[in-house]
Structure 1
Amino acid sequence: MAEASHGETRLPAEALRVGAVLAASGPVILKTSRISAAELNVGICWGTDSVAPFLMTTSQWWQLLSWGELLLPVVLTGLLLRASPRTTSLGIAAIGAVLVFRLFAISLPPGTHPLTDRSLPVDEPWPSIVCYTVAIVALLVAARSPLSPARKGAVLWAAAIVAAAWTVGWFSLPTGESTSFGWFAYTPPAELLWKQPGAWSCKADVDGVLIVLIALAAAAGGVMAGRTRRRVALGIGAFLLLATFEGFVAVLIVAGGEHLADATMMIRWHLLAAAALVIATTFRDRTSATDSEKPNPL
């Protein structure tokens, strides 16, 4: 009875910790409701078109903020999977640091459009404040409950996140006059991405949503039973496979099989690698379960 009660009290606490990762992912997920590089030029996902005339950055501070918001759910997930006694304190410190940095960034003068010299729009801080406050409260409420044991598949999850971050990392590199990450869209184009549902994975890739999705799956898998955990991993892996071959299938449908070479260029290999790594966690999980079931010779 004592063990059952302990498990019952731990489950809500672990759900709160996963909820903290979800809340910390809020600012990244909210990017999907705004115009991004994917709407401005769908070809950006495959490097087929120039996006320099459509993208502009405010400053390096905003680029650092974009990375901070993107990596925060990853950091929280890593702390949960590691199951350190300082998980709560370090998690709250990380959330607070990103929140303070956002408040600092919006206090700086906004950048200007390189052609019109008009000020670029700046996001309001309130959505981030709400999301990060919820995450901090969730961690504090769950602080007194023990963490789940550390997971051996954390390395595979981390590798999958690195693979999924290829597009965002590429945008971060200097490209001529400006960089393509931490940008703000200034003038909406005639055709928005939501009118082109076939390019949904492009936006998710550009905005970094696939990165936080993998982090959320890893955090949730750390508190689930073995079979449910494997199903979640397989589901995320299948989702990444769809994103990998979406452009490939679209070209084949529109242009036909004679354009197979062009269609192959639309495959996003980094997402294929991420899918393989996520699916590999299920095999690692089964191996660990088998080893734990072996009788102790002593």
Structure 2
Amino acid sequence: MTARIATVEAAGRQHYGLVVEGGFVALSDDFPHWPTLKAVIEAGALGELVAAGTGRAVTHREGDFTYAIPVPDPGKILCVGVNFPDRNAEYKDGSAQPKYMSLFPRFASSFTGHGQPLVRPPENHTLDYEGEVVVVIGRGGRRIAAEDAYDHIAALTLCNEGTIRDWVRHAKFNVTQGKNWDRSGAIGPWLVPFEDSAQLDEARIVTRVNGEVRQDDVLSRMMFPVREEIAYISTFTTLEPGDMIVTGTPTGAGARFDPPKYLKPGDVVEVEVAGIGVLSNGVVDE
């Protein structure tokens, strides 16, 4: 079974370790020199962590902990927008595939963990979902060649890149304010070590709302593949261990229905990729 490496909270403390049958194996006390999973990734030690936890007894049973975002202190979270051809067509502006990818930043505070609710703010109720795969950088670098990009990935995880749609239209050239409401999105449930190109090249992403499939597509159809994302982003900024790239969402977000199908309290959103897992979150009002 693929290792599942998570950050959780229990009894007022944060721990990292392995998710196993029946619960969680806390390992952070064994490695005090690595305070968070970001430090483990910087040390190139995810394999050492997995080895240390293999065969160990569960320290926290299911229900005795809650999930946090796997890397709680990333230096950068960069998101790629409009990265599937059908998604580009949704905008109905007649544009062909753009020459360059669209990018925007998100703050860690705009995300919550698996099993925790997305928060709909009182100022606007156009909370939408976007299921995506996240690559976590393991080996940093600048001007990384596309053919070398996979060598810089430590792990994969999932994202529900929740968006307040009306707020992405407040200004002409940016979407930052619509993408960064506190706890409007989620990342998790855990990290899966990146070991094989097929984990990305053959990945199918499915997003369900209350059990209804809303998004279903394969990463191989992305207009800007992950290799190109890493190469392009590292041209202008140094990628560092623990940085996260949210790679793009397929067609089928709620805003594109007529009428729109925005999220409301009581809804449950699931983002699934075989080999990574299922990220599940409810919805509550702030």
Q: Which has the larger radius of gyration?
A: 1
Fold match by TM threshold 0.5: no
Scaled by the length of structure 2, what TM-score is found? Answer: 0.25
- Which structure features the higher share of strand residues? 2
- Which structure features the higher share of helix residues? 1
